[in-house]
Chain A
Amino acid sequence: MVSRISSPAARLTLAVALALAFGPSAARAGTVKGTVKLPDSARSTRLYQGYWRLENGNVPVQNSGGAKLETAVVLENVNGAHPPPARTVTVEIGGLDARPRLVVVGPGSVIEIKNTGKVRLNLSTPEKPSVVPPEYLPAGGTRRQKFDSIGGFAIRDADYPHIMISVLVVDSPYYATVDEKGGFSIPSVPDGKANLKVWTRGKWAAQQEVDTGSKEELTVRVSASGQKENAEKEAAE
């Protein structure tokens, strides 16, 4: 026997249940996967090259990291995306090196920089001085800087330019860092068109429009000239 559902309360309950059951499937989501191909020069773990870089000839060299550790892929203009919540991230600078070197946060986040080394630092964002004005950070000191605007920012030290912290302030939770091979995966991206941008070593290095509903793996090539062009574009902005 099938009993009829006649009361209004029962009908409302059913409608809500149906909406919960079928609503998400109407706006389907997928994973955006791909590989970022960086130029050969980005394989180096060094940001600045001298005249020579020679292997020692006895012990195999260790080529871990390189620019890939400082590379992130960000999806912008995703349907229905909301910025990630603001948070505070601590970056330690010690031994004349920053850890982590790349931070991706939502608007309003605070970057807390701790100088754990023995030298005084002079940190700023040279390309956008208003974001992080030049300021000395003594050994053992801490500096907090809030990032409200969306974008990518490279915090550098004036005396030790190789010390660089990349801060990406994004407007959606759809981003990922790349692994050793340059692969990335961004889960649960709503289907539709989006703008994929690649940040590496302090610059937006590439961008392209992608269909997030596509199951194909993306390949994003970053050329040395592309890096330069994007850097110029960013500087012009």
Chain B
Amino acid sequence: MFLSKIWFILIALVSAIAATFALVAPRPAVQKLAALEGQRLDRAEYAAEQMFKVDAHKWIDRVSKLGRDAILSESLDAASRGSGEYSVIHRTIQDRFRTLIPDLSTGGIDEIVAVDNKGRVIARVGSDNDKEYGDYIPGVEVVADALRGYMSDDAWGVNGRLERVAGAPVLSKTKDRIVGAIYVAAETGPALVERLKKNLDVDVALLLRGKVVASSRPVGQLDGLPDLIAQHSEDIASLKRTPALPLEAGQDKLLVVAAPFPGQASEQQAYYALIGVQPAKTDLAALLANVRASDLKWGNFPWVPLVLLTFAMIAIGLVLQRLEVEEPLKKLRRELQRLASGDISRIDDVKYSGRIGGLAREVNAAVEHFTLGPAGRPEPGAKAAGAPMGPAGGKTFDLPPPAPSFGAPPPSPAFPPPPPVVPSFSAPPPPPAFPPPPPSLPPPLPNLAPQHTPAPFSAAAVAAAGGAVSAAPAIAVKGAPWNQLPPSALGNEEDAERQMPDGEATRVVPYDEHEEEEAHFKHVFDDFIEAKRACGESLAGLTQAKFLQKLRDNKATLVEKHGCRTVRFNVYIKDGKAALKATPVRE
């Protein structure tokens, strides 16, 4: 059963490992997915940054192109020189803007402003206050840059709105001096968010001064985003971006990468945040919840290998069980049946291992105990008298052939007194159920009678002849008067059943000492006849009455001589001839 145990332990270990693997295996995958989502957001952030750069360059190009317009140039030149009427110049420039860009909103423009070379606003278009002009804005960095000759861009956070700005100088008609500047401002709000989401396939949010000013996710879901970004202001200052940050948004678990807008908006906590979704949970419920019916289809799930593997494991377990348990049990059962049939030869317990081997050894011990007595070895006196030993060293005695030598002398007096008798002896079988003698006759035991004992019955009895063999101590007494079996040794029917090794009931012998003994003698006679026939011996002169009488006489002699209660006889074949053994029974 060693391999069976190992197999069950192995299956348990494999099951535990499989369960652990099933629960743990998704975690690296989820972590990998989170990392991949973070990388996707990183790439999206890089793409967004490049998009902003391209946008800024486009705006600069557009403004620069506006600045090359002749009418605008002449008008601003006149304004810078103070050579015209401001109101006229103002209207001229406004009209020119509207002519060049008929629909500002289509172009994504919020406002266009033209200033003269002192930074004074000459005209505005698109803003709410486009009728106002004349104010100075030379300090605005884009304007100051443009008046120095630079084309540049910036981002502003003004009145709660985020604007991207591009400015360019306006050169004189002769292109030798700067006569003014133009800048355009484009609101960076929902339109930009939608464009980013469309191009980058991520959710986008824009933040200004700790508030989400535009987002592609539902309003209110990103309330924690400004604080989250503020906690990573150092990352933003050094890396110009945050790592992928987890964010709880209701039931959604998000990942956020945020980066600052450039320009002076960066001083106003202006960020754009790209938002992805964290991978699902990895607990068992979440895993099962994510299983789809299609996942379990034949094509998607390795049912065949799984079923084969399962059956293979079951088959291996059954084979091991059969090899280690059932087969040895069958063998042992056959051995026990052999014992029960009267062949009390020793079980070859070497063939059995483990507990069954232990059981076989216990049976052997019981047999030896029964056949040899508690001492487990022959008495020296018995050996001196030439008392033959049974196969296991037990005390059984060969009887001379009944016909010619039935008048054998009494048994050898050399037998020592039997040891104390232990009760609980299995009952001998009733005659009808006795197994056929020849095939199951016990192996040849040392024959005591012919050579060494003058007695017609040297002394012989078969313990538990033909009955069940019990592990309970059985006793065969040597050299003492054997005259009876104790009633308790026979027991009742239930006891007899209980005494069977595998619980099977066998023959139940009703206890009547005389009747039982007569039945035994008749049975021995039948066995003897059978044995002689099997050996081809002549049956002439052999009658049942004489045979039984001889058995009674021998029994009486042995009982008287050894003080035993009774004697059990057994038939076996020795040197091709039927022979009898007598086994004294003390109690």
Contact = CB atoms under 8 A, between A and B. Distances in A.
B149 A61 contact: yes
B151 A52 contact: yes
A162 B148 CA distance: 17
B175 A48 contact: no
Interface string A35-68: 0000000000111111111111011111100000
B264 A161 contact: yes
Contacts of B194: none
Interface in B132-157: 135-142, 144-145, 148-155, 157
Contacts of A105: none
Interface string B177-190: 11000000000000
Nearest to B132: A118
Contacts of A45: 141, 144-145, 148
Nearest to B138: A95
Nearest to B143: A96
B281 interface: no
Contacts of B262: 48-51
B148 A61 contact: yes
Given A51-B53, A98-B139, A59 B150 contact: no
A95 B53 contact: no
A96 B140 contact: yes
A1 to B, nearest CB: 77
Interface centre among B144, B177, B264 (most CB of A within 10 A): B264
Nearest to B152: A53
> Majority SS of interface residues in chain B?
mixed
A156 B148 CA distance: 24
Nearest to A98: B139
A206 B575 CA distance: 123
B140 A52 contact: no
A160 B149 contact: no
B137 A96 contact: yes
Interface string B528-564: 0000000000000000000000000000000000000
A52 B142 CA distance: 11
Contacts of A59: 149, 169, 171, 175-178
B268 interface: yes
Contacts of B109: none
B149 A62 contact: yes
A117 interface: yes
Contacts of B446: none
Contact of B153 (A51, A60, A96, A160): A51
A54 B151 contact: yes
B252 interface: no
B427 interface: no
User: Taking each of B52, B56, B139, B177, which has the highest tally of chain A beta carbons within 10 Å of its own beta carbon?
Assistant: B139
B264 A160 contact: yes
A94 interface: yes
A96 B136 CA distance: 8
A211 interface: no
A45 to B, nearest CB: 6
Contacts of B264: 47-48, 160-162
A52 B53 contact: yes
A97 B53 CA distance: 27
B148 A51 contact: no
A53 B149 contact: no
B168 interface: yes
Given A59-B178, A162-B264, A52 B60 contact: yes
A95 B136 contact: yes
B178 A52 contact: no
A120 to B, nearest CB: 11
Given A51-B52, A52-B56, A61 B153 contact: no
A162 B140 CA distance: 8
A159 interface: yes
Contacts of B178: 56, 59
Contacts of B141: 45-48, 162
A158 B175 CA distance: 38
Interface SS of A by simple majority:
loop
B307 interface: no
B154 A48 contact: yes
A19 to B, nearest CB: 54
B117 to A, nearest CB: 11
Interface in A3-62: 45-56, 58-62
Contacts of B148: 45, 61-63
A139 B136 CA distance: 13
A92 to B, nearest CB: 11
A5 to B, nearest CB: 69
B151 A161 contact: no
B289 interface: no
Given A48-B266, A49-B262, A161-B267, A61 B135 contact: no
B584 interface: no
A58 B268 contact: no
B213 to A, nearest CB: 15
A117 B150 contact: no
A94 B136 contact: yes
B158 interface: yes
A97 B138 contact: yes
Interface in A175-234: none
B150 A54 contact: yes
B376 to A, nearest CB: 95
A132 interface: no
A56 B139 contact: no
Contacts of A161: 264, 267-268
A49 B263 CA distance: 5
B211 interface: no
Contacts of A60: 149
A63 B147 CA distance: 11
Contacts of A52: 53, 56-57, 60, 151-153
B466 interface: no
B119 interface: yes
A75 interface: no
Residue among B152, B155, B176 having the largest count of chain A Cβ atoms under 10 Å: B152
A53 B152 CA distance: 4
B196 to A, nearest CB: 16
Given A96-B139, A117-B135, A161-B268, A51 B56 contact: yes
Contacts of B267: 48, 156, 161
Contacts of A96: 136-140
A163 B150 CA distance: 20
A229 to B, nearest CB: 12
Q: Which of A46, A50, A55, A60 has the most CB of B within 10 A?
A: A50
B490 to A, nearest CB: 104
Contacts of A160: 139-140, 264
A159 B162 CA distance: 11
Contacts of B159: 159
Contacts of B171: 56, 58-59
A47 B139 CA distance: 11
9 contacts: A48-B154, A51-B52, A51-B57, A52-B151, A52-B152, A56-B169, A56-B178, A96-B139, A117-B136
Interface of A: 45-56, 58-63, 94-98, 117-118, 156, 158-163
Which 10 A/B pairs are nearest by Cβ-Cβ distance? Answer: A97-B139, A61-B149, A95-B136, A161-B267, A96-B139, A50-B153, A48-B264, A51-B56, A53-B152, A50-B154
Given A60-B149, A160-B139, A162-B140, 7 more contacts: A48-B264, A53-B151, A53-B152, A54-B150, A56-B64, A161-B268, A162-B264
